[in-house]
Structure formats: structure tokens, C-alpha cells
Amino acid sequence: MIARTLFVGFVVSSLGGAALSAQSREIDVRAAVDKTAAWVADRVTFTITIACGKGGDILADDLSKDKLRVEGFEILGGRSDRLSDRNDRTIYTFSYELTTYRVDVPELKVAPLTVRYYVRRPGQRLEDAAPAGEVQVPGAVVAFRSALPDGQESYDIRDARNARSRRLRYALLQPIGLGLVLLAVVPAAVGVIAAVRRTRSREKPRSARQVRHDERESLDALKALDVSTPAGRLDAYSRLNALVRDHVHHLTGVETAGLTPAEIGAALSRRNGRVPVEPVAGVLEACDQARYAPPDALPSADACRRAIEQGEQIVGQS
């Protein structure tokens, strides 16, 4: 542990310039490490304790983690505490967590720090007080210990020899262990499959009547939209696109969600179903143009109403 105590004299002047009697105030600075020697990847805590007398204070920013200078160490983190005791002293504690991953440094060092201090008169704020001086925080030196010999140009960490063969009793345990793992995995897999099947069995497909009912509600909500505003028309085209795509998917089984209008038209042409190909492709193309066009190219309210009527005919006829 390294400790230093400084006694500093301050001269306080009145507003008229007459010097008052000097008052001595004590600033106690202590610095310590919790280890005198460290191995690779060991954690070392460097602690600074500063006790300021009544009316004195320090600039805590001078002790921030980025101001700490180390040699051989790496700074992992830091924290600080501030408290006042019954003697009106302000006590600061700064702790820094250090480590090293190097093997070429015989000593690990923490450089001394310079901290500015202030003196406040009664009723004066700290930011209004002028700097009174500086105090020096002593550094620290930690010896480095390693199992590797000194003076080597390189360190052969890994052995080039082949690994020794396992003993027979350990070799026989491998298939037994694999068998136990399989015995544990198979019941779990069976349970997962059964749970998935039960979940799927509960997800019943909608009936044709339910589909028609949902489509009618969607159409009613679509026709009730106010398409006189750009936002209303954009919402209408988005709903119309989803309605027509869901309708085509329900009737034909075509996965319309990831297809373009041209691809949907080509898929419907190959199926020769009851869904009209050209009207479907035309409505979806109009929806895409409206949804992805710039705001000034958005179709008019009349064009939007015609697209809704075409969508209603597609859903109602097929």
C-alpha cells in the first residue's frame, strides 16, 4: 500500500482585498493495490482514496477511467463513491479493475495522477470557486509472475506431441454414454412431435360459409372508407390487395402472398379454374402501383372506387 498526506495552506481574501488569516486544511491522498504480484489474467484492483477537509473539494473528472495511465495493464472498468463524514470531510473513493494478458512485461505499472482541488467559501458553489492548486496521486507497481521461463524469443504454448490414447475402461464408456444420450433424446423428440400434432389438429380450416362471411365483412369495411384523401386511398388499396389475394388462395390453393400480379396470372392460367385471370391480375397490378408509387402519382378517388368495384365483382362471382 502507498499513502501520502498533504497539508495545504489557503489564503482567503475579502471583497475589499484585505487578506484574512490563512487557514490550514488537510487533503489526504492514498493509493493502494490489492495485490503486489499478478499472474496472467489475474484481476488487480487499484484504489484511490481522497479525503478533503471542510470547504475543500476536487475535480472528480481528473480521476476518470480514461485519465488513468497504465503500462502492461488493461483497464476493465472503474467506479467511484462520494460520502461525507461527521467532521464535514468529503471522502472520494475511486476503484479501477485491471488485468494483463501479456508475458513480456516484468512489471505492471500505474502512473501517478494529478488532481486539481478547489476551496469554497461559505455559501459559494463549487463551479464558482477558483482552482486552488493540484495534488499528486502516487502510482503503483505490481510484479508479474509467470510459469514461463524468462529470456525466450518465443513461447511454445502448445505441445506438438500427439495425445495419449485413453485407457480401455474410458474407451468402453463412450458407446455407453452415446446410448444414454439417445435414450434421453428419443422420448423428448416423440413428445415434441405429439405436441405439434395436437396443435395442428386444433387448427381447423375455415368453412366456405365462414370464408364468405369474412369476405363480405372486409368488402363492407372497404367500401366504407373515405377515399377522398390520399391516406384513405392508400389504405383502401392495401386492404383490396389483401382481400383479392386471400380470395384467390382460398379458391385455388395458389400461394399468392409472395407472387407478383403477373406470376399470379400465370399460375391461374395453368389451373383453368373459375377465378377470372385478367381481372385479378388487373386489380392486383393497380394495387401495387398505388401502394409503391410516389405520393404525387397516387390514383384519383374515382379510380380507387372503380378498383374496389372490380374487386367486389371478383369476390362475388367466383
- Whether 256 shows a pLDDT value over 50: the answer reads yes
Q: Where in the chain is the domain with CATH 2.60.40?
A: 2-144
Residue 264 contacts residue 280 (beta carbons within 8 Å):
yes
Domain boundaries 2-144, CATH class: mainly beta
Residue range 259-280, pLDDT digits in tens: 888 888 888 777 766 677 888 8
At 261, is the secondary structure helix, strand, or coil?
A: helix
- Whether 19 shows a pLDDT value over 80: the answer reads no
Give the single-character DSSP code of 137.
Answer: E
Higher pLDDT, 277 or 80: 80
Residue range 120-150, pLDDT digits in tens: 766 666 566 666 788 889 999 998 876 665 6
How far is 264 from 255, CA to CA, in rounded Å? 9
Who contacts 219 (Cβ-Cβ below 8 Å, separation ≥6)?
243, 311, 312, 315
Q: Is the pTM of this model over 0.75?
A: no
Residue range 200-226, pLDDT digits in tens: 655 566 677 777 888 888 888 888 888
Q: Where in the chain is the domain with CATH 1.20.120?
A: 208-317
- Whether 151 shows a pLDDT value over 80: the answer reads no
In the chain, DSSP assigns E strands to 2-10, 23-33, 37-38, 44-52, 56-58, 70-71, 74-84, 90-99, 107-110, 113-119, 131-137, 140-144
- Give the rounded distance of the alpha carbon of 97 from its chain centre: 23
Sign of CA dihedral 301, 307, 309, 312: negative
pLDDT band, residue 92 (cuts 50/70/90): very high
Query: What is the average pLDDT across 286-293?
Result: 84
Residue range 227-236, pLDDT digits in tens: 888 888 888 8
For 208-317, CATH number out of 1.20.120, 1.10.150, 1.20.1050, 1.10.287 equals 1.20.120
